[in-house]
């Protein structure tokens, strides 16, 4: 969702916000991906006030097409491609790190 944020309206703001919080929690805070869903569900139960974040240009260094190409190779290639894809998206949005960290604090 962070690569395709939509337009400035409530659902888009929430979706991008939740996905960015997920990236922040896993990549910067060390949350295990297996625990992410439960944390995000708690966040959505008492959500912060989301705001529109102007999407970065470019919005990540890779696209889903890179993952599809890597999937045709061995599993380690796909794992590396997924990691690079996710980190590229987070890096593209990093200018909003403090806002995303504030949203993440709302998750009990």
Average pLDDT per block of 10 residues along the chain, 108 residues long: 88 96 96 96 95 89 75 78 90 96 90
pTM above 0.95, yes or no: no
Residue-range domain boundaries for the chain: 10-105
Output the pLDDT for position 71.
76
The 3-state secondary structure of the chain reads: CCCCCCCCCHHHHHHHHHHHHHHHHHHCCCCCHHHHHHHHHHHHHCCCCCCCCCCCCCCCCCCHHHHHHHHCCCHHHHHHHHHHHHHHHHHHCHHHHHHHHHHHHCCC
């Amino acid at each position: 969702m962070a690569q395709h944020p939509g337009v400035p309206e409530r659902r888009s703001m929430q979706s991008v916000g939740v996905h960015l919080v997920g990236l922040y929690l896993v990549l910067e805070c060390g949350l295990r991906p297996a625990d992410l869903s439960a944390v995000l569900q708690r966040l959505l139960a008492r959500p912060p006030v989301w705001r529109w974040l102007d999407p970065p240009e470019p919005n990540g260094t890779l696209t889903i097409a890179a993952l599809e190409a890597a999937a045709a190779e061995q599993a380690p290639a796909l794992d590396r491609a997924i990691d690079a894809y996710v980190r590229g998206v987070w890096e593209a949005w990093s200018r909003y790190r403090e806002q995303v960290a504030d949203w993440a604090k709302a998750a009990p």
